[in-house]
Amino acid sequence: MKMTQTLYLLFISGFSSFPLGSSEFHLIKLPKTYQEAKSYCREMYTDLATVHNSTDMNMINLLSSTNTRAWIGLEIGDVWTWHWSQPGQKLDFLNWKAGEPQNNNQDACAAMDQHGKWFESGCATKRSFVCHGYSDTSGHIFVAETKSWRDAQNHCRGLSSDLVSIHAAEENEAVRNVSVSQNVWIGLFKDPWKWSDGSNSSFRHWKPNQPNYFEDQYCVSAIFIDQGRWNDRRCSDRRPFVCHGDQQPTSLPTPPNTASKLTTTKTPGLVSVTSTTEMSTAAQLTPTTTVQVTTDGVSASTTLTGTSAQSTTWPLTLKPTENTPSLPPGNLILIQENMTWIEAMSYCRKHHIDLVHIVSEDSQQKVAEKAKNATSPHVWLGLRYTCNFNFWFWTSSTADCYLNWAPGEGTEGKYDCGVTGAIQATGRQQWVGLPETEKLNFLCYACGG
């Protein structure tokens, strides 16, 4: 069975998207107020983006390598609500001290005293804390070092854990027992924020000292240059935004006198476009329009269905032209540091262009030669598997029919979500799928020598 070459790609206009699990995120680069952005997302997709966990946040970060600030679907609410830090945990057990929690409308966090009773506290206070164990059987982790609640949360998440959540009296007693008679942070916090789509996600990713609620800052934007961390902003500000959900079908009228601006190819009925303006025009020609896109030396043919001219997701079947350039040796940079796939991609995009992609047998040979100097058994490539659509794709805007999978890999393999591509550093130097959390050397490509 041949690997399908149909990919969901970003076209460099006002739009990019990335499929993830049961959701799909779309960065819309059209500056709008928060309410305008919400209306747009509800009309074109499902709603402004809801972030359920750090994986969602990492995927949203991949939508932009610029310093863009973009609205997400978090907004101020009327009710201050307690949440567990660990996403998806129900508030089904409480053990407050008498007189607690306090009846006030301000951010707060919860701690446990030496008797196992909970009390409300300012989140900036430094105290010891308890993280969840690495599994249901490994108990809890007591950290004696004193930190603010948010720094304690970051510490636990750095251990691939979170601040402890408590759901029964027995678990509460177990946390008290490991806390060695100290007041400790637990993973309970209070805030007024709610998600536009009504989700109860408790995941938060604030910048330090945020939110500050200054000057009617009642809506939230993610700052891509700062790992997507969040900042509360005035809802009247105009900025790009992130939607989630499947694209809704729409119908657009045919604009007058636009077909004459486009070029007909040698294939009957196929329109050639070479710019985002022409793509927008083609998207409005008829309810269904077939176009050929040419960009960066790669041609792609696709059928557009009626949709917004400013933001469209196209299934593109990419076909390299005869002049598709291979990667010169000077453009390949081997980073002999072990990072996760997402860390490696972020590094390459910050310091160079991107993780390397392989478009031909010639570029495979050049990548293989560089990989021989790696200090890890495999080397990350810009190759990712989507479990939502069950295919592999290159994260750059180009692709190719060239494949070099090891036996049992690629379309022959069975993968979970979160799998990415690597090249064997030695031997036949074929491609394999590995969990993105593994730490490997990686190859970037850059301009010039």
Query: What is the predicted pLDDT for the residue at 116?
Result: 96
Residue 177 has pLDDT above 70, yes or no: yes
Contact 220, 207 (CB under 8 A): no
Residue 361 has pLDDT above 50, yes or no: yes
Q: What's the pLDDT tens digit per position in 71-110? A: 999 999 999 999 999 988 999 999 999 999 988 889 999 9
Model confidence at 33, pLDDT cuts 50, 70, 90, reads very high
Which value, in Å, is the radius of gyration of the alpha carbons in the chain? 25
Q: How far apart are CA 307 and CA 44, in angstroms?
A: 9
Model confidence at 299, pLDDT cuts 50, 70, 90, reads very low
Q: Which of 325, 324, 344, 331 is nearest to 423 (CA)?
A: 344
Q: Of 96-100, 190-194, 203-207, 260-264, which range is least confident?
A: 260-264
Name the average pLDDT for the chain. Answer: 77
Task: Identify which has the larger pLDDT, 171 or 415.
Answer: 171
Residue 126 has pLDDT above 60, yes or no: yes
Q: Which domains does the chain have, with CATH numbers?
A: 6-78+200-244 (3.10.100.10), 89-192 (no CATH), 259-320 (no CATH), 329-445 (3.10.100.10)
Q: Which residue has the tokens 């990019």?
A: 16
Contact 80, 192 (CB under 8 A): yes
Query: What is the predicted pLDDT for the residue at 161?
Result: 85
Q: What's the pLDDT tens digit per position in 219-234? A: 999 998 888 999 999 9
Q: How far apart are CA 361 and CA 441, in angstroms?
A: 22
Task: Identify which has the larger pLDDT, 171 or 283.
Answer: 171
Beta pairing, strands 332-339 & 118-121: unpaired
**pTM, entire model:** 0.55
Contact 303, 290 (CB under 8 A): yes
* Element spanning 243, H or E: strand 239-244
- DSSP for 50-91, please give it: P--SHHHHHHHHTT-SS--EEEEEEEEEEEEEEEESSTT---
* Element spanning 174, H or E: helix 169-178
Contact 443, 366 (CB under 8 A): no
Query: What is the predicted pLDDT for the residue at 388?
Result: 56
Q: How far apart are CA 309 and CA 27, in angstroms?
A: 15
* 240-245: average pLDDT: 93
Model confidence at 336, pLDDT cuts 50, 70, 90, reads very high
Query: What is the predicted pLDDT for the residue at 313?
Result: 35
Residue 346 has pLDDT above 90, yes or no: no
Q: What's the pLDDT tens digit per position in 362-391? A: 888 889 999 999 999 999 998 887 765 567
Share of the chain above pLDDT 90, in %: 43
Q: Which of 169, 175, 125, 131 is nearest to 153 (CA)?
A: 131
Model confidence at 305, pLDDT cuts 50, 70, 90, reads very low
Query: What is the predicted pLDDT for the residue at 254?
Result: 36
